[in-house]
Amino acid sequence: MIPLLVSAAVGLVVSIFGTPVVIRIMERRRIGQFVQEELASHAHKQGIPTMGGLVFVSATVIGYLLAHVRVASTGLTFTPLRPGGLLCILALVGMAVVGFWDDWIKYTRKRSLGLSKSGKFGGQLVVAILFALGASQAGVVTQVSFVRPLGIDLGVFFVVWVLLMMTGFANAVNLADGMDGLAGGSSALVVAAYTVIAFWQFRNPTHYQAVDPLELAIVSAGMFAALLGFLWWNAHPAKIIMGDVGSQGIGGLLAALAILTNTHLLLAVIGAIFVAETASVILQVASFKLTGKRIFKMSPLHFHFDLNGWAETTVVIRFWILTGIGVALGLGLFYGDFLRLEGLL
């Protein structure tokens, strides 16, 4: 339990005190957000410092590393880093690098469009392949899973599944990052759920086949606290925006946690708000191409409610509530499965 608390404490401190430093740096260099012309109500966000994800991604990594430091009578010692934790860091940092590349192009070219689709997908593909290969070496179960493996072995197609999960959730979190605190707060709730799941698997190893669940819990705890520190500055009116470096990193980490805890499809329940945001874009595009009509006033989904007259804070808080419901349902399903295995349900 102590490593989790250390990771969380370090993540919070680095994030809450490091973010204003990054804000000042971004302001001096005039690295700010570019807002789409259609979003007139959000025009005031033009120029707000971006790439805030650099802080909470760094805070998570620092928290994870310091959680392995032990104070002994002979001095400081460092416990070995396990494959599960390292794979999470690979997914987090690797996808964040792809996002940073995207953000940097937006900044240098002074536009709201960054990397080309092929460029972004290529970067995500490299991260997914490295993660899949590392996870296979670490003994991950290559079956599709819900609260546990379902017996459907993917074999060589496991790499494809990893790519779908990583790109899917990286883009889903990115789509949700359109209002102050929306993606950050929702992500914090989902990561908190995975802290509970991973730690529960660590305490009950006979029932689960997770890869180094304690390590996963340490990373999750660090990210949860780091996101809380970031939210202090990202709450409406935001002083900084996470940018693609943050949303891509979060999405990669969520996919990694789901894969390594063998809760692939459960992530769609816990992170249902991200699924809904993505589904709204898919439905909007499909409807317009097939019928010439739009289902929503604008997608992703949060902008539909924005254009319907909901205040930004109203949309954000209600989406947080919906995320909380998804998290509660997901944890309930996970715990219900445990009770069934114990013969108590």
Per-residue pLDDT of the chain (345 residues; tens, 9 = 90+): 889 999 999 999 999 999 999 999 888 877 766 555 554 454 456 678 888 999 999 999 999 999 999 877 677 888 999 999 999 999 999 999 999 998 888 878 766 666 788 888 899 999 999 999 999 999 999 999 999 999 999 988 999 999 999 999 999 999 998 899 999 999 999 999 999 999 999 999 999 999 999 999 999 999 999 999 999 999 999 999 999 999 999 999 999 999 999 999 999 999 999 999 999 999 999 998 888 888 888 889 989 888 888 999 999 999 999 999 999 999 999 999 999 988 776
Report yes or no: 245 and 100 within 8 Å, Cβ to Cβ: yes
Kind plus residue range of the DSSP H or E element containing 216: helix 213-234
Burial of 308 (0-12, 13-18, 19+ CB in 10 A): exposed
Distance of CA 168 to the CA centre of its chain: 11
Predicted pLDDT at 29: 78
Report yes or no: 83 and 137 within 8 Å, Cβ to Cβ: yes
- In single-letter form, the type of residue at position 15 comes to S
Predicted pLDDT at 45: 61
Q: What are phi and psi of 70, to 5 degrees?
A: -120, 140
**Beta partners for residue 152, in sequence order:** 144
Q: Can you tell me the distance from the alpha carbon of 93 to that of 192, in angstroms, rounded to the nearest whole number?
A: 19
Predicted pLDDT at 213: 96
**Beta partners for residue 153, in sequence order:** 143
Q: What is the pLDDT of residues 144-171, one digit of tens each?
A: 999 999 999 998 899 999 999 999 999 9
Global pTM value: 0.92
- 3-class DSSP assignment, residue 125: helix
Predicted pLDDT at 145: 96
Predicted pLDDT at 111: 65
Predicted pLDDT at 58: 97
The residue whose two tokens read 């943050």 is: 246
Q: What residues contact 76, with CB distance under 8 A and at least 6 apart?
A: 69, 70
Report yes or no: 79 and 218 within 8 Å, Cβ to Cβ: no
Q: What is the pLDDT of residues 43-86, one digit of tens each?
A: 456 678 888 999 999 999 999 999 999 877 677 888 999 999 99
Q: What residues contact 339, with CB distance under 8 A and at least 6 apart?
A: 345
